[in-house]
Amino acid sequence: MDAVSCSIFFHNYYGEDHKWFSFFGKELTSPYNLFYNAVRTSYYRVNAPGILGNNLKQLSGPHLHQLFVRQSTNKGKDIGGKLVLMDAYLKLDTRSDYILLLHDKRSLYHNRGQQWQETLFRIAHKEVISKVHAIFRTQPQVGIVASESSIRNEADNDQQREDYTNSFFIKELKEQYGIHPPGLQYVAGTMFWVRASLFEDFFQQYDPMMIRSELEEGNVTDELPTKAHAWERLLCWMVTSKGFKIKGV
């Protein structure tokens, strides 16, 4: 299989497929594979069936190399969806230099959800993408690139409670998967670029579907600690525990 520079993993819950495919067609200016997961039982999708047809490929621009669509159950929120796509990526033996994780985030229970989405999606705009690629090329110790304001340190969080910094789930999963990061920096919102090889190495060792089977069902919020919430941190810490850094753009 030809290598392309980028594979996008996009998890969709709220529909509007045309909007997202047009977005990728407009912003991606080098060859890319698109792994697109749609939650089959989402109300926003069952109410408007037949959206995911072959004609969507035309909207995705001339640089779309291959499109892989999955229709998953609602488990583990966007983390669960991205694990389904990681499983597909490995099974199909597709390879790329970078993986871009995205999802159609709305955060309906936050009063600044729209603003938050715009902040996170900056990294998928073409003018920022060129900066991201330059960082990866010139700074080999960078493993993850994300929007500057989305990078947090768990120790500095407003919610400085044991539940968050050291929840039972986080402790258990760190031991189970051998993830011991030097610090607690992570990307809130789970939208970032990562060197594909780092995820490939981890998920070839630990089955993404097995990890997904342990996540919570439905759209759990971050009011209480959950495994999905823990994996939002661990997806970054698996990179930093290998000595790589998170860089903001």
Going 133 to 135 to 141 to 142, the CA torsion angle's sign is negative
Tokens of 33: 């594979």
What span, in angstroms and rounded, lies between the C-alpha atoms of 213 and 227? Answer: 11
143 closest CA partner among 204, 185, 92: 185
State the binding string over 150-189 for another protein (x if CB under 8 A, else -): ----------------------------------------
Which residue has tokens 């999963």? 173
Told to check if 11 binds another protein by CB under 8 A, we report: no
For residue 21, give the 3-state DSSP assignment. helix
Map the footprint of another protein across residues 201-240, applying CB under 8 A.
Answer: 207, 209-210, 212-214, 217-219, 221, 223
Map the footprint of another protein across residues 81-110, applying CB under 8 A.
Answer: 84, 87-88, 91-93, 108-109
Q: How many residues bind another protein (CB under 8 A)?
A: 41
State the binding string over 37-76 for another protein (x if CB under 8 A, else -): x---xxxxxxx-x--xxx-------------xxxxxxxx-
214 closest CA partner among 248, 243, 179, 176: 176
Binding site for another protein (CB under 8 A): 37, 41-47, 49, 52-54, 68-75, 80, 84, 87-88, 91-93, 108-109, 111, 207, 209-210, 212-214, 217-219, 221, 223
